[in-house]
Protein backbone atom coordinates (compact mmCIF):
# COMPACT_ATOMS: atom_id res chain seq x y z
CA UNK A 1 0.00 0.00 0.00
CA UNK A 2 1.04 3.60 -0.52
CA UNK A 3 0.55 5.28 2.84
CA UNK A 4 0.68 8.98 3.69
CA UNK A 5 1.73 9.41 7.32
CA UNK A 6 1.19 12.76 9.01
CA UNK A 7 3.39 13.18 12.06
CA UNK A 8 5.59 10.27 11.00
CA UNK A 9 8.66 11.86 12.63
CA UNK A 10 7.05 11.80 16.08
CA UNK A 11 7.30 9.12 18.72
CA UNK A 12 4.40 6.78 17.85
CA UNK A 13 4.35 7.86 14.19
CA UNK A 14 8.01 7.01 13.57
CA UNK A 15 7.62 3.51 15.02
CA UNK A 16 4.57 2.95 12.80
CA UNK A 17 6.47 4.20 9.74
CA UNK A 18 9.31 1.80 10.53
CA UNK A 19 6.84 -1.08 10.83
CA UNK A 20 5.09 -0.15 7.55
CA UNK A 21 8.42 0.11 5.70
CA UNK A 22 9.55 -3.24 7.10
CA UNK A 23 6.31 -4.80 5.88
CA UNK A 24 6.79 -3.64 2.31
CA UNK A 25 4.55 -0.58 2.31
CA UNK A 26 5.53 2.58 0.47
CA UNK A 27 5.52 5.51 2.90
CA UNK A 28 5.53 9.30 2.60
CA UNK A 29 5.92 11.15 5.89
CA UNK A 30 4.47 14.65 6.27
CA UNK A 31 5.79 16.36 9.39
CA UNK A 32 6.66 19.94 10.33
CA UNK A 33 9.42 18.66 12.66
CA UNK A 34 8.20 21.00 15.41
CA UNK A 35 8.14 18.07 17.84
CA UNK A 36 9.33 15.23 15.64
CA UNK A 37 12.84 14.34 14.54
CA UNK A 38 14.29 13.95 11.08
CA UNK A 39 16.47 11.15 12.46
CA UNK A 40 13.38 9.20 13.55
CA UNK A 41 12.09 8.80 9.99
CA UNK A 42 12.86 5.40 8.52
CA UNK A 43 15.39 5.64 5.66
CA UNK A 44 12.98 3.95 3.24
CA UNK A 45 10.29 6.61 3.81
CA UNK A 46 10.23 9.96 1.99
CA UNK A 47 9.94 12.99 4.26
CA UNK A 48 8.01 16.09 3.19
CA UNK A 49 8.42 18.92 5.69
CA UNK A 50 5.15 20.77 6.19
CA UNK A 51 2.41 21.68 8.61
CA UNK A 52 -1.13 20.34 8.24
CA UNK A 53 -2.45 23.87 8.58
CA UNK A 54 -0.62 24.83 5.38
CA UNK A 55 -3.32 23.56 3.03
CA UNK A 56 -1.42 24.36 -0.18
CA UNK A 57 1.68 22.36 0.84
CA UNK A 58 -0.49 19.57 2.20
CA UNK A 59 -2.56 19.37 -0.97
CA UNK A 60 0.51 19.19 -3.18
CA UNK A 61 1.96 16.47 -0.90
CA UNK A 62 -1.28 14.46 -0.99
CA UNK A 63 -1.42 14.82 -4.77
CA UNK A 64 2.27 13.96 -5.29
CA UNK A 65 1.23 10.34 -5.91
CA UNK A 66 -1.85 8.15 -5.49
CA UNK A 67 -2.22 7.15 -1.86
CA UNK A 68 -4.25 4.18 -0.66
CA UNK A 69 -4.48 5.38 2.91
CA UNK A 70 -3.52 8.00 5.47
CA UNK A 71 -2.24 7.42 9.00
CA UNK A 72 -2.70 10.57 10.99
CA UNK A 73 -0.47 11.15 14.03
CA UNK A 74 0.39 14.85 13.78
CA UNK A 75 -0.93 16.37 17.00
CA UNK A 76 0.02 17.80 20.35
CA UNK A 77 -0.44 15.30 23.17
CA UNK A 78 0.29 16.86 26.53
CA UNK A 79 -2.68 17.12 28.85
CA UNK A 80 -1.22 19.89 31.04
CA UNK A 81 -0.21 21.98 28.06
CA UNK A 82 -3.70 21.59 26.61
CA UNK A 83 -5.20 23.05 29.78
CA UNK A 84 -2.91 26.09 29.53
CA UNK A 85 -3.24 26.56 25.76
CA UNK A 86 -6.56 25.02 24.69
CA UNK A 87 -6.91 26.98 21.46
CA UNK A 88 -3.49 25.80 20.30
CA UNK A 89 -4.75 22.23 20.84
CA UNK A 90 -8.06 22.78 19.04
CA UNK A 91 -6.19 24.39 16.14
CA UNK A 92 -3.48 21.78 15.80
CA UNK A 93 -5.44 18.65 16.69
CA UNK A 94 -8.96 19.44 15.51
CA UNK A 95 -8.91 22.17 12.87
CA UNK A 96 -5.81 20.83 11.14
CA UNK A 97 -7.43 17.39 11.00
CA UNK A 98 -10.46 18.99 9.39
CA UNK A 99 -8.14 20.42 6.71
CA UNK A 100 -6.63 16.98 6.18
CA UNK A 101 -10.10 15.41 5.86
CA UNK A 102 -11.24 18.05 3.37
CA UNK A 103 -8.20 17.37 1.22
CA UNK A 104 -8.66 13.60 1.51
CA UNK A 105 -12.23 14.05 0.28
CA UNK A 106 -10.97 16.17 -2.60
CA UNK A 107 -8.13 13.86 -3.58
CA UNK A 108 -10.25 10.71 -3.25
CA UNK A 109 -8.40 9.00 -0.37
CA UNK A 110 -10.95 6.95 1.57
CA UNK A 111 -8.98 5.21 4.30
CA UNK A 112 -7.67 6.74 7.50
CA UNK A 113 -6.19 5.44 10.74
CA UNK A 114 -6.48 8.08 13.43
CA UNK A 115 -4.38 8.40 16.54
CA UNK A 116 -6.99 8.77 19.27
CA UNK A 117 -6.63 8.42 23.00
CA UNK A 118 -8.02 6.92 26.17
CA UNK A 119 -8.10 10.54 27.39
CA UNK A 120 -11.36 10.75 25.42
CA UNK A 121 -13.02 8.69 28.19
CA UNK A 122 -12.24 11.20 30.94
CA UNK A 123 -12.63 9.56 34.35
CA UNK A 124 -14.40 6.33 33.41
CA UNK A 125 -17.00 4.74 35.65
CA UNK A 126 -15.78 1.30 34.76
CA UNK A 127 -12.20 -0.06 34.62
CA UNK A 128 -11.10 -1.94 32.47
CA UNK A 129 -12.66 0.42 29.94
CA UNK A 130 -14.58 -1.02 26.99
CA UNK A 131 -15.07 1.10 23.84
CA UNK A 132 -18.76 1.71 24.52
CA UNK A 133 -17.94 3.60 27.73
CA UNK A 134 -19.27 7.13 27.59
CA UNK A 135 -16.64 9.47 26.16
CA UNK A 136 -16.55 12.43 28.46
CA UNK A 137 -13.04 13.93 28.36
CA UNK A 138 -11.90 16.09 31.26
CA UNK A 139 -9.31 18.18 29.42
CA UNK A 140 -8.93 20.07 26.11
CA UNK A 141 -6.53 17.44 24.75
CA UNK A 142 -9.15 14.69 25.09
CA UNK A 143 -11.86 16.97 23.67
CA UNK A 144 -9.69 17.98 20.70
CA UNK A 145 -9.34 14.28 19.81
CA UNK A 146 -12.95 13.32 20.52
CA UNK A 147 -14.15 16.05 18.14
CA UNK A 148 -12.13 14.31 15.42
CA UNK A 149 -13.82 10.99 16.17
CA UNK A 150 -17.17 12.75 15.56
CA UNK A 151 -15.90 14.12 12.24
CA UNK A 152 -14.83 10.64 11.20
CA UNK A 153 -18.23 9.12 11.98
CA UNK A 154 -20.03 11.90 10.10
CA UNK A 155 -17.63 11.63 7.15
CA UNK A 156 -18.25 7.88 6.87
CA UNK A 157 -21.95 8.48 6.35
CA UNK A 158 -21.60 11.58 4.17
CA UNK A 159 -18.74 10.84 1.78
CA UNK A 160 -17.72 7.27 2.35
CA UNK A 161 -14.59 7.75 4.45
CA UNK A 162 -13.42 4.51 6.01
CA UNK A 163 -11.65 5.13 9.31
CA UNK A 164 -10.32 3.45 12.38
CA UNK A 165 -9.67 5.50 15.51
CA UNK A 166 -7.16 3.80 17.78
CA UNK A 167 -7.55 4.91 21.37
CA UNK A 168 -4.11 4.43 22.83
CA UNK A 169 -3.48 3.94 26.48
CA UNK A 170 0.06 4.87 27.68
CA UNK A 171 2.46 4.50 24.76
CA UNK A 172 5.95 3.52 25.89
CA UNK A 173 9.10 1.60 25.02
CA UNK A 174 11.38 1.81 22.01
CA UNK A 175 12.19 -0.17 18.88
CA UNK A 176 13.65 -3.54 19.85
CA UNK A 177 16.54 -3.05 17.39
CA UNK A 178 17.52 0.14 19.24
CA UNK A 179 17.22 2.35 16.16
CA UNK A 180 14.53 4.75 17.41
CA UNK A 181 12.88 5.66 20.69
CA UNK A 182 11.14 8.34 22.71
CA UNK A 183 12.54 11.88 22.67
CA UNK A 184 10.26 14.68 23.86
CA UNK A 185 11.38 18.18 24.80
CA UNK A 186 10.50 18.72 27.56
CA UNK A 187 9.89 15.17 28.71
CA UNK A 188 6.81 14.69 30.86
CA UNK A 189 6.13 10.95 30.57
CA UNK A 190 6.81 8.63 33.45
CA UNK A 191 9.03 5.91 31.96
CA UNK A 192 11.52 8.22 30.18
CA UNK A 193 11.67 10.41 33.29
CA UNK A 194 12.42 7.39 35.48
CA UNK A 195 15.15 6.30 33.04
CA UNK A 196 16.64 9.79 32.92
CA UNK A 197 16.88 9.59 36.70
CA UNK A 198 18.60 6.19 36.33
CA UNK A 199 21.10 7.82 33.94
CA UNK A 200 21.80 10.56 36.48
CA UNK A 201 20.20 13.22 34.27
CA UNK A 202 17.65 14.00 36.98
CA UNK A 203 18.18 13.94 40.75
CA UNK A 204 14.91 12.10 41.41
CA UNK A 205 11.47 11.19 40.11
CA UNK A 206 8.49 13.06 41.51
CA UNK A 207 5.60 10.72 42.24
CA UNK A 208 2.50 12.76 41.53
CA UNK A 209 -0.02 11.76 44.19
CA UNK A 210 0.26 9.00 46.79
CA UNK A 211 -3.31 9.17 48.08
CA UNK A 212 -5.23 7.76 45.12
CA UNK A 213 -7.76 4.98 45.81
CA UNK A 214 -5.37 2.32 44.47
CA UNK A 215 -3.46 -0.45 46.25
CA UNK A 216 -0.29 1.63 46.79
CA UNK A 217 -1.88 5.08 46.50
CA UNK A 218 -0.31 5.95 43.13
CA UNK A 219 -1.96 6.15 39.70
CA UNK A 220 -2.42 3.05 37.62
CA UNK A 221 -1.92 3.09 33.84
CA UNK A 222 -1.94 0.56 31.02
CA UNK A 223 1.52 0.79 29.40
CA UNK A 224 1.37 -0.27 25.78
CA UNK A 225 4.58 -0.83 23.85
CA UNK A 226 5.02 1.33 20.79
CA UNK A 227 5.80 -1.71 18.61
CA UNK A 228 2.46 -3.25 19.62
CA UNK A 229 0.82 0.05 18.69
CA UNK A 230 2.54 -0.08 15.30
CA UNK A 231 1.19 -3.54 14.61
CA UNK A 232 -2.33 -2.41 15.55
CA UNK A 233 -2.07 0.44 13.03
CA UNK A 234 -0.90 -1.87 10.27
CA UNK A 235 -3.71 -4.35 10.90
CA UNK A 236 -6.22 -1.50 11.07
CA UNK A 237 -5.16 -0.01 7.75
CA UNK A 238 -5.38 -3.36 6.05
CA UNK A 239 -8.97 -3.94 7.23
CA UNK A 240 -10.63 -0.51 6.89
CA UNK A 241 -13.75 -0.49 4.72
CA UNK A 242 -14.94 2.68 2.98
CA UNK A 243 -18.01 4.18 4.64
CA UNK A 244 -17.31 2.59 8.03
CA UNK A 245 -15.95 4.39 11.11
CA UNK A 246 -14.62 2.10 13.82
CA UNK A 247 -12.74 2.71 17.06
CA UNK A 248 -10.65 0.35 19.13
CA UNK A 249 -8.82 0.57 22.42
CA UNK A 250 -5.16 -0.32 22.20
CA UNK A 251 -3.80 -1.46 25.53
CA UNK A 252 -2.52 -4.56 27.28
CA UNK A 253 -5.43 -4.91 29.70
CA UNK A 254 -2.94 -4.81 32.59
CA UNK A 255 -2.33 -1.90 34.93
CA UNK A 256 0.85 -0.78 36.70
CA UNK A 257 1.11 1.83 39.41
CA UNK A 258 3.70 4.60 39.37
CA UNK A 259 5.56 2.89 42.22
CA UNK A 260 5.53 -0.43 40.33
CA UNK A 261 7.08 1.28 37.31
CA UNK A 262 9.85 2.76 39.44
CA UNK A 263 10.48 -0.63 41.08
CA UNK A 264 10.59 -2.39 37.69
CA UNK A 265 13.00 0.26 36.38
CA UNK A 266 15.27 -0.25 39.39
CA UNK A 267 15.43 -3.98 38.58
CA UNK A 268 16.07 -3.36 34.88
CA UNK A 269 18.73 -0.66 35.30
CA UNK A 270 20.34 -1.76 38.55
CA UNK A 271 20.23 1.89 39.63
CA UNK A 272 18.79 3.27 42.87
CA UNK A 273 16.41 5.85 41.27
CA UNK A 274 15.41 8.28 44.02
CA UNK A 275 11.76 9.24 44.32
CA UNK A 276 10.09 12.22 45.95
CA UNK A 277 6.44 12.21 46.85
CA UNK A 278 4.66 15.17 45.27
CA UNK A 279 1.09 16.46 45.08
CA UNK A 280 -1.34 15.07 42.54
CA UNK A 281 -0.97 16.38 39.00
CA UNK A 282 -4.21 18.06 37.89
CA UNK A 283 -6.24 16.05 35.40
CA UNK A 284 -4.85 12.60 36.28
CA UNK A 285 -7.57 9.94 36.70
CA UNK A 286 -6.64 7.29 39.33
CA UNK A 287 -6.76 4.29 37.03
CA UNK A 288 -6.91 3.77 33.25
CA UNK A 289 -6.81 0.21 31.94
CA UNK A 290 -8.02 -0.94 28.55
CA UNK A 291 -10.55 -3.60 27.88
CA UNK A 292 -8.79 -4.69 24.70
CA UNK A 293 -11.02 -7.60 23.72
CA UNK A 294 -12.66 -5.80 20.79
CA UNK A 295 -9.46 -5.23 18.80
CA UNK A 296 -8.46 -8.82 19.50
CA UNK A 297 -11.75 -10.12 18.12
CA UNK A 298 -12.02 -7.76 15.15
CA UNK A 299 -8.38 -7.38 14.05
CA UNK A 300 -6.74 -10.41 15.62
CA UNK A 301 -4.37 -8.06 17.47
CA UNK A 302 -2.99 -8.87 20.88
CA UNK A 303 -0.26 -7.10 22.83
CA UNK A 304 3.01 -9.02 22.64
CA UNK A 305 4.90 -6.80 25.09
CA UNK A 306 3.14 -7.85 28.28
CA UNK A 307 6.18 -8.04 30.56
CA UNK A 308 6.74 -4.56 31.97
CA UNK A 309 10.44 -5.21 32.65
CA UNK A 310 11.02 -6.10 29.00
CA UNK A 311 9.08 -2.98 27.97
CA UNK A 312 11.24 -0.81 30.22
CA UNK A 313 14.39 -2.64 29.06
CA UNK A 314 13.61 -1.66 25.46
CA UNK A 315 13.32 1.99 26.50
CA UNK A 316 16.47 1.69 28.63
CA UNK A 317 18.45 0.41 25.64
CA UNK A 318 17.40 3.52 23.69
CA UNK A 319 18.03 6.03 26.48
CA UNK A 320 21.43 4.56 27.32
CA UNK A 321 22.59 4.65 23.72
CA UNK A 322 21.01 8.08 23.03
CA UNK A 323 21.31 9.97 26.32
CA UNK A 324 20.65 13.27 24.52
CA UNK A 325 17.96 11.84 22.23
CA UNK A 326 18.15 12.23 18.46
CA UNK A 327 21.17 14.25 17.36
CA UNK A 328 19.20 16.67 15.21
CA UNK A 329 19.04 19.70 17.47
N1 LIG B 1 3.86 10.59 36.70
C2 LIG B 1 4.57 10.82 37.86
N3 LIG B 1 5.74 11.52 37.79
C4 LIG B 1 6.22 12.03 36.61
C5 LIG B 1 5.48 11.79 35.43
C6 LIG B 1 4.30 11.07 35.52
O7 LIG B 1 4.18 10.40 38.94
O8 LIG B 1 7.28 12.68 36.62
C9 LIG B 1 2.64 9.81 36.77
C10 LIG B 1 1.42 10.58 36.28
O11 LIG B 1 0.88 11.34 37.31
C12 LIG B 1 0.52 9.44 35.80
C13 LIG B 1 1.51 8.38 35.31
O14 LIG B 1 2.76 8.71 35.90
O15 LIG B 1 -0.18 8.93 36.87
C16 LIG B 1 1.67 8.39 33.81
O17 LIG B 1 1.94 9.72 33.39
P18 LIG B 1 2.44 10.06 31.93
O19 LIG B 1 2.68 11.55 31.91
O20 LIG B 1 3.54 9.16 31.54
O21 LIG B 1 1.20 9.69 31.03
P22 LIG B 1 -0.29 10.22 31.10
O23 LIG B 1 -1.09 9.08 31.67
O24 LIG B 1 -0.45 11.52 31.75
O25 LIG B 1 -0.56 10.56 29.57
C26 LIG B 1 -0.68 9.60 28.58
C27 LIG B 1 -0.41 10.25 27.24
C28 LIG B 1 -1.46 11.26 26.92
C29 LIG B 1 -2.82 10.67 27.09
C30 LIG B 1 -2.96 10.08 28.45
C31 LIG B 1 -4.28 9.45 28.69
O32 LIG B 1 0.85 10.87 27.25
O33 LIG B 1 -1.28 11.71 25.60
O34 LIG B 1 -1.97 9.10 28.64
O35 LIG B 1 -4.44 9.32 30.07
F36 LIG B 1 -3.76 11.60 26.94
The SS3 call for residue 278 is: strand
Structural Rg of the chain based on CA atoms: 19
- To test the pocket of ligand 1, the residue of 166, 258, 290, 315 to mutate (highest count of ligand atoms within 8 Å of its CB) is 258
| Averaged pLDDT for residues 57-86 | 96
Rounded distance between C-alpha atoms, residue 224 and residue 323, angstroms: 22
Arithmetic mean of pLDDT over the chain: 97
The SS3 call for residue 256 is: strand
Question: Lowest mean pLDDT: which of 96-110, 295-309, 315-329?
Answer: 315-329
Report how far Cα 328 is from the mean position of its chain's Cα atoms. 22
CATH of domain 2-172+223-250: 3.40.50.720
| Averaged pLDDT for residues 21-31 | 98
DSSP classification of residue 3: E
| Averaged pLDDT for residues 99-105 | 98
Name which of 231, 250, 261 is nearest 170 in CA terms: 250
Given the residues 11, 30, 141, 223, the one annotated as active site: 141
49 in Cβ contact with 43 (< 8 Å): no
Q: Is the model's pLDDT at 197 over the cut of 90?
A: yes
Name which of 71, 73, 94, 74 is nearest 34 in CA terms: 74
The SS3 call for residue 211 is: coil
Q: Is the model's pLDDT at 249 over the cut of 90?
A: yes
- Report helix, strand and coil shares of the chain as percent, to nearest 5: 40, 20, 40
Q: Is the model's pLDDT at 28 over the cut of 90?
A: yes
Q: Is the model's pLDDT at 248 over the cut of 70?
A: yes
Question: What is the share, in percent, of the chain residues with pLDDT greater than 70?
Answer: 100
| Averaged pLDDT for residues 202-225 | 98
Report how far Cα 256 is from the mean position of its chain's Cα atoms. 18
Centre a 10 Å sphere on the Cβ of residue 20 and count the other Cβ atoms it contains.
25
- To test the pocket of ligand 1, the residue of 189, 252, 256, 276 to mutate (highest count of ligand atoms within 8 Å of its CB) is 189
- DSSP string for residues in 236-249: HHHH--TT-EEEEE
Q: Is the model's pLDDT at 12 over the cut of 90?
A: yes
2 in Cβ contact with 24 (< 8 Å): no
Centre a 10 Å sphere on the Cβ of residue 125 and count the other Cβ atoms it contains.
10
Count Cα neighbours of 101 within 13 Å in the Cβ-side half-sphere.
Answer: 24
Clarify whether 141 is annotated catalytic. Answer: yes
Per DSSP, helices labelled H in the chain are 11-22, 55-62, 79-84, 86-89, 96-107, 140-159, 190-198, 226-239, 258-269, 293-299, 308-321
- To test the pocket of ligand 1, the residue of 11, 77, 79 to mutate (highest count of ligand atoms within 8 Å of its CB) is 79
**Rounded to the nearest whole angstrom, what is the distance from the C-alpha of residue 42 to the centroid of ligand 1?**
27
Q: What are the counts of helices (DSSP H) followed by strands (DSSP E) for the chain?
A: 11, 14
Instruction: Give me the pLDDT at residue 329, please.
Output: 59
**Is the peptide bond prior to 285 cis by the omega test (within 30 degrees of 0)?**
no
Instruction: Give me the pLDDT at residue 282, please.
Output: 84
Question: What is the share, in percent, of the chain residues with pLDDT greater than 90?
Answer: 97
| Averaged pLDDT for residues 195-222 | 98
Question: Model-level pTM greater than 0.85?
Answer: yes
Instruction: Give me the pLDDT at residue 327, please.
Output: 87
Q: How confident is the model at residue 286 (pLDDT cuts 50, 70, 90)?
A: very high
Rounded distance between C-alpha atoms, residue 275 and residue 267, angstroms: 15
Instruction: Give me the pLDDT at residue 136, please.
Output: 95
Q: Residues with beta carbon inside 6 Å of ligand 1? A: 77, 79, 117-119, 141, 170, 188-190, 193, 205-208, 219, 221, 258, 281, 284, 288
Burial letters for 87-97: b for 16+ Cβ neighbours within 10 Å, e otherwise?
A: eebbebbbbbb
Residue nearest to atom 19 of ligand 1 (CA): 189
Rounded distance between C-alpha atoms, residue 324 and residue 329, angstroms: 10
Amino acid sequence: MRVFVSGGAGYVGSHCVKDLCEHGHDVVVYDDLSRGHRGAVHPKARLITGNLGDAATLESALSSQTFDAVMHFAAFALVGESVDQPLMYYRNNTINTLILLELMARTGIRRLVFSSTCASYGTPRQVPIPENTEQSPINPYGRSKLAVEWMLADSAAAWGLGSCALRYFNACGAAEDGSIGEDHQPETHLIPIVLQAALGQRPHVSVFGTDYPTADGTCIRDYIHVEDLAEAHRLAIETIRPGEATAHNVGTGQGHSVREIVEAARRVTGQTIRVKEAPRRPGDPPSLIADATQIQTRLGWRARWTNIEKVIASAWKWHRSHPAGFDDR
